[in-house]
Amino acid sequence: MDLLNVSGIGPKSINLLHKLNIYTICDLLNYYPFRYEILKLDKLSLKADDEKVIIEGLIEKIPTVIRLKGNMNKMSLRVLSDDMLVNVVIFNRGFMKPHFQIGKEITIIGKWNKLKNTITASDIRFEKINGVKIESIYRTTQGLNKRMLSKYIDNAINGCINELTDYIPFFLSNKYNFMDKEQAIKIIHNPFDIESLKQAQIRLKYEELFVFMLKINCLKLKNQKQNNGLQREIDYNKVTEFIEHLPFKLTTDQLSAVSEIKDDLISPKRMNRLLQGDVGSGKTIVSIIASYINYLSGYQTAFMAPTEILATQHFENIKKLFNDYNINVELLTGSTKKKEKKQIYQKLENGEIDLIIGTHTLIQDDIKYKNLGLVITDEQHRFGVNQRSNLSNKGMMPDILYMSATPIPRTYALTIYGDMDVSNIKTRPQGRKDIITYVKNNNEIIDVLKLMKQELDSNHQIYIIAPLIEESERSDLENVYKLETNFKKAFKNNTIEILHGKMSSEEKDDVMNKFSKNETNILISTTVIEVGVDVKNATMIVIFDANRFGLSTLHQLRGRVGRNDLQSYCVLISDKSKERLEILKNTNDGFEISEQDFKLRGQGDLFGIKQSGDMTFKIANLKEDYKILLQAKNDSLEFLKNEVYTLDNKKIIDEILGNIDNLN
């Protein structure tokens, strides 16, 4: 049902709600407070100077309002609270004056200046607290304040709460004695005591994690049952030859990953493998060899990357590598022209294309393959669990290879990627030097410029990263355009280009092309280059406002350099969060960084997957709620293994799993 059905919500507020990612009534009902404020009455006589206080009192004197500079005003009044007469001041509430009558009871929240016998109030209310009151605090957006948001949510609770589905099967809610969903939602928004709030939170966390684990475990069980994958016969000498002709020697880890993949491909069991390795460890070539094996056995490969930039880069590299092998490689992205797209679809269907590289467009429903044998997803964590399954629906029974650099603490990986086999690339190619990382203040920029000059003089290239594209009124963060102006002044003899997500695909391709051919010395970019981009001659990356990024993101960004045996540098610029950034200075090991990030920020951007949606939980937190996660994991397995699907089960499975259930 549409948001407009909630009373009070009109077209204007809809747009504001969209800003908070609220699109449906369910989204609204599931828009939980991000914290609670517990209001508890204080006794003034027991409070020290400068403490926060909440008191109730009687108005003893009608307030006076004086105007201040710039439309501001200050209201002063006096109240009697617990036999003490105190002065109260509050700013910009002059409009409330008519409501203040002598003898009226009010609640005052503010700071207590004992010497001056004055409370500077942040809020004055006309209702009593009655002991303890728990207030829900929501993230809001400009134009939509807390009061309006609460109102909408309350209206949705009153009018549309039956929109919600309870995903916890009866036998489980019974087992744990959970309150029902409606009640939990009511309490989470309007708690009346801490005990029941906790119960509601646990129940909603459990549900979220249960749904999540159900998806994962469903995939896992399906995979176990699938011993009807493709069986291939290949002439492995050709593969060995291909490997010998590569411009470099594969590392031991790369070779064993290739061997594990080969075994999977020739066995009748369907491959469902995660190739994990830190940024720069050389995963791509392993997947290319996999696609070559697949080609030799007569099947098509689909290769997905999360961004167009990355897809294009893979396309260029792979085309070169396959140049002498008569393999037909094509690129398909969101910006491929309509006519060309049609031709590609046609060629995929009649088998003229052996290897197709693209973004998520490769899993659109209207693409048909003649004989898809292998699906590769690069930077798997950028795709959701849903997409994981969607992909597998494409071909007959394609084998699947996922690649991910995002290191995940091992225990969590086991749970979350429990449906996959894993190959690990632990070592980087030989000769690589550790990237030297510096953490600098903004006022140390001169050191940075010196280092940049040194690298540019050696004809090396540099990335510069800013969090914003252009100037923004609401933020003083660095932006790409401003940095471009500044660096063009500082490095007059060098070529500088910019790159960001708002540019057209052609522009982006053009910029990346020039940079990879060393026609551009400095590339100033947003995080669009975060994953995968591979330009060997780039030896330095400077990240402005580094404190704005999660450690895993920074580690990924840093991975853009150090891609050959030249010494590379990463400079993190920030006046804040130094301690966190120091972690990066001290280690280049992605696993360690993710463990530390996890300790510091809970799930944080651990998975770097905020974008993919289904691992960003609304209420659960993988770290704090790990016990609940394990419980949910076991319960979902029990639920799935229970062969007798009751009607209750069937409905839940269908709804949660959607297209996963169509998998045969």
Q: Site residues (CB under 6 A) for ligand ADP?
A: 248-251, 254, 277, 279-285, 405, 429, 534, 536, 563
Distance CA 361, CA 342 (A): 13
In the complex, the smallest distance separating the C-beta of residue 229 from ligand ADP, rounded to whole angstroms, is 26
In the complex, the smallest distance separating the C-beta of residue 16 from Mg ion, rounded to whole angstroms, is 38
Binding Mg ion (rule: CB under 5 A), the pick from 191, 532, 550, 559 is 532
- Of 255 and 630, CB closest to ligand ADP: 255
Give 345's DSSP letter: H
Query: By CB under 5 A, is residue 169 in contact with Mg ion?
Result: no
What stretch of H or E contains 571? strand 569-573
Under the phi-then-psi rule, with left for phi > 0, alpha for psi from -120 to 50, and beta for the rest, what region is 71? left
Closest CA to 402 of 418, 378, 366, 429: 378
Query: Which residue is nearest to ligand ADP, using beta carbons?
Result: 282
Which of ligand ADP, Mg ion, none does residue 536 bind to, with CB < 5 to 8 Å depending on kind?
Answer: ligand ADP
Distances (CA, A) of 660 to 145, 222, 392, 395, 494: 39, 9, 9, 14, 52
Which of Mg ion, ligand ADP, none does residue 280 bind to, with CB < 5 to 8 Å depending on kind?
Answer: ligand ADP
Stretch that binds Mg ion, among 529-537, 565-573, 574-582, 611-619 (CB under 5 A): 529-537
- Of 33 and 532, CB closest to ligand ADP: 532
- Of 378 and 455, CB closest to Mg ion: 378
Please, what is the angle between helix 146-160 and helix 181-189, to 10°? 160
Query: By CB under 5 A, is residue 306 in contact with Mg ion?
Result: no
In the complex, the smallest distance separating the C-beta of residue 580 from ligand ADP, rounded to whole angstroms, is 23
- Of 211 and 305, CB closest to ligand ADP: 305
CB 272 within 8 A of CB 400: yes
Write out the DSSP string of 10-59. Answer: -HHHHHHHHHTT--SHHHHHT---SEEEEEE---GGGPPTT-EEEEEEEE
Which of ligand ADP, Mg ion, none does residue 520 bind to, with CB < 5 to 8 Å depending on kind?
Answer: none
- Of 389 and 552, CB closest to ligand ADP: 552
Which own/partner pairs from 165-169 qualify as long-range (CB within 8 Å, at least 24 positions apart)?
Answer: 165/655, 166/207, 167/207, 167/210, 167/211, 167/652, 167/655, 167/656, 168/203, 168/206, 168/207, 168/210, 169/639, 169/648, 169/649, 169/652
At 261, the amino acid letter reads: I
Query: By CB under 5 A, is residue 559 in contact with Mg ion?
Result: no
Which of Mg ion, ligand ADP, none does residue 250 bind to, with CB < 5 to 8 Å depending on kind?
Answer: ligand ADP
- Of 54 and 357, CB closest to ligand ADP: 357
In the complex, the smallest distance separating the C-beta of residue 440 from ligand ADP, rounded to whole angstroms, is 26
In the complex, the smallest distance separating the C-beta of residue 618 from ligand ADP, rounded to whole angstroms, is 31
Could you give phi then psi for residue 402, rounded to 5 degrees?
Answer: -105, 145
Distances (CA, A) of 329 to 40, 285, 351, 397, 417: 68, 16, 12, 21, 30
Stretch that binds Mg ion, among 45-53, 189-197, 346-354, 530-538 (CB under 5 A): 530-538
- Of 127 and 244, CB closest to ligand ADP: 244
Which of Mg ion, ligand ADP, none does residue 563 bind to, with CB < 5 to 8 Å depending on kind?
Answer: ligand ADP
- Of 404 and 479, CB closest to ligand ADP: 404
At 558, the amino acid letter reads: R
Site of tokens 């998520």:
360
- Of 357 and 448, CB closest to ligand ADP: 357
Please classify residue 399 by burial: count the beta carbons closer than 10 Å to its beta carbon, then call 0-12 exposed, 13-18 middle and 19+ buried: buried
Stretch that binds Mg ion, among 210-218, 438-446, 527-535, 553-561 (CB under 5 A): 527-535
Q: Give the sign of the dihedral formed by CA 540, CA 545, CA 551, CA 553.
A: negative
In the complex, the smallest distance separating the C-beta of residue 569 from Mg ion, rounded to whole angstroms, is 21
Binding site for Mg ion (CB under 5 A): 532
